[in-house]
Amino acid sequence: MSGYRVMGVVNVTPDSFSDGGLFLDEHAAVQHGLELVEQGADILDVGGESTRPGAEPVGEEEEKRRVVPVIEALAAATRSLPEPPQLSIDTSKAAVARAALVAGATLVNDVSALRADPAMASVVAGSDADCCLMHMLGEPRTMQQDPRYGDVVDDVRAFLEERLSFAVRAGISEQRIMLDPGIGFGKTVDHNLELLRRLNEIVEVGRPVLVGTSRKSFLGVVLSPRTGALRARAQDAAAETLPVAERLPGTIATNVMAYERGASVFRVHDVAPVVDALAVAAATLSGKWTASTRTT
């Protein structure tokens, strides 16, 4: 096994569940992005609107105001690197995506899978940008209100296959599309664990699979010594979850398992430890470890 990339999260938001407000300032966001590159991030995912459960929408102009200067600055600061990171815009708005692509982004990470804005597909197709299509049940404000599935893996796979077909018909090259099962987006703890357990069935669709488990609430439920049961619904156990800052071990475990099951892009807040964990997993699974020049 080989060929994976780590996507570092750069949230330019006041209300993201994990780091809201920490990098709202343009300079802080840019510095954070550069630090993630130093830690090994292959992609920087810049977002100006929180998609946490219950999040309120952000206006188009405000979202552009938050993200465009950051992408421009990151593009300028990383252009001369031997292997500059790919810059991604995390948005469901066509106008924001268009402005971000002009600023230097080459990947559109759309949690609505091209459903929220009718113009998004043509923006992506016309730019030759890569895109990520994610499964989400409902919208951020409502997605955790009693989510139900027949079979969560079958349902998510069918949705992603349909959105992939739609994107290709809209003129987006299939080779530029990756898929995201949407861990934590309209799923209970059981749903998330089942998706991870059977992630190979999503990989079988044939496109690179992105997994985003970083610091998410289902990890807090599973890891909390106070929950007593892995089968608790995340929304019912909100008061019993492990704090966000203590979820790194769960993040690492889920990313390593996802890699073993065929995922190839890993969206995380804590880049350095996940890069190290995946390096060990890749060396183990490939059986082709070679000495590194790394000295620290």
Helix axes 152-169, 189-197, angle to 10 degrees: 70
pLDDT tens per residue across span 11-67: 998 744 454 445 568 888 999 999 999 999 999 999 999 876 666 788 999 999 999
Tokens of 135: 């499964």
Considering only CA atoms, give the Rg of the chain. 18
Check pLDDT > 70 for residue 183: yes
Catalytic residue among 198, 216, 261, 288: 216
Q: Does residue 294 belong to any structural domain of this protein?
A: no
Check pLDDT > 50 for residue 265: yes
Catalytic residue among 79, 267, 288, 294: 267
Check pLDDT > 70 for residue 2: no
- The share of the chain scoring above pLDDT 90, in percent, equals 73
Q: Does residue 252 belong to any structural domain of this protein?
A: yes
- We report the CATH number of the domain holding residue 170 as 3.20.20.20
Q: Does residue 157 belong to any structural domain of this protein?
A: yes
Alpha-carbon gap, residue 207 to 112, rounded angstroms: 18
Task: Return the closest-CA partner of residue 67 out of 55, 81, 83, 50.
Answer: 50
Alpha-carbon gap, residue 148 to 137, rounded angstroms: 9
In the residue annotation, 64 being an active-site residue is answered as: no
pLDDT band at 143 (very low <50, low <70, confident <90, very high): low
Q: Does residue 291 belong to any structural domain of this protein?
A: no
pLDDT at 140: 61
Q: Does residue 278 belong to any structural domain of this protein?
A: yes
Q: Does residue 293 belong to any structural domain of this protein?
A: no
Q: Does residue 225 belong to any structural domain of this protein?
A: yes
In the residue annotation, 267 being an active-site residue is answered as: yes
Split into its structural domains, the chain has a count of 1
Q: Does residue 292 belong to any structural domain of this protein?
A: no
pLDDT at 51: 77
Q: Which domain holds residue 72?
A: 5-285
Q: What's this model's pTM, rounded to 2 decimal places?
A: 0.89
Task: Return the closest-CA partner of residue 131 out of 45, 36, 242.
Answer: 45
